[in-house]
Amino acid sequence: MAVITETERLLVRPWTREPADLASLYDMYSRPEMMRFFNNGTPLTDPEQVVEMLDRWELRGSRDGWYDIWAVELRDSGQVVGTTMIKQLPGPDDPVLSDDIEVGWHLHPDHWGNGYATEAARALIEREWAHTSTEQIYAVTDPGNEASKAVTRRLGMSYLGRRTDWYGGTEVDAFVLHRPTLR
């Protein structure tokens, strides 16, 4: 299987439609504690919804195949612990994409607090800086999601304030990280 990027502990790879990946996705996105900050707080209730979710992710697509939403897997065990992404942000007319690039993460609740979200996001940011001319990367969080805000701080991102110009006008807290400059 193709590896998008890796760290000492993690592999970031494409999601598949294999039974193990579908089960991991359903287990993660069917949990109320996981979904309280997105999808209008609505957990998945039917395993078939995972296939629909993967279809939506594929439709959002990526320019030139570079951006996407991927599985985060522990290198040692192969266990899937979450989702990470680097992609174009949907604009105010969602699903029309903006030129703004977003890094994001969704971790299974059983794996919160291990630093996996920060580690996977940092690897994707480094990949972006190494291979593109992107000048800034954004992260968006639900205004009440303090754990995700903590990840943005660990990544060195700056708070921009509340915005409604992405995700169809949904109010989000926005953060930005500017490309490092050589001195």
Domain span at 55: 5-178
Q: Is residue 151 part of a domain?
A: yes
Per-residue confidence band for 137, with pLDDT thresholds at 50, 70 and 90: very high
- For residue 77, being part of any structural domain is answered with yes
pLDDT tens digits, residue range 8-17? 999 999 999 9
The CATH number of residue 113's host domain is: 3.40.630.30
Nearest-angstrom CA–CA distance, 176 and 162: 12
Taking every pair of C-alpha atoms in the chain, what is the biggest distance, in angstroms? 53
pLDDT at 90: 87
Domain for residue 31, yes or no?
Answer: yes
pLDDT digits (tens, 9 = 90+) for 109-136: 999 999 999 999 999 999 999 999 999 9
Question: Of 24-28, 37-41, 137-141, 175-179, which range is least confident?
Answer: 37-41
Residue 61, pLDDT > 80, answer no
Give a yes or no: residue 183 inside a domain.
Answer: no
Measure the CA dihedral 96/98/122/27, to 10°.
Answer: -10
pTM exceeding 0.85: yes
Q: How far apart are CA 30 and CA 24, in angstroms?
A: 10
Q: What is the mean pLDDT of residues 51-68?
A: 79
Q: How many domains does the chain have?
A: 1
- Angstrom CA distances, 147 to 22, 53, 59, 77, 109, stand at 25, 24, 29, 25, 11
Question: Could you tell me if residue 63 is inside a domain?
Answer: yes
Q: Is residue 14 part of a domain?
A: yes
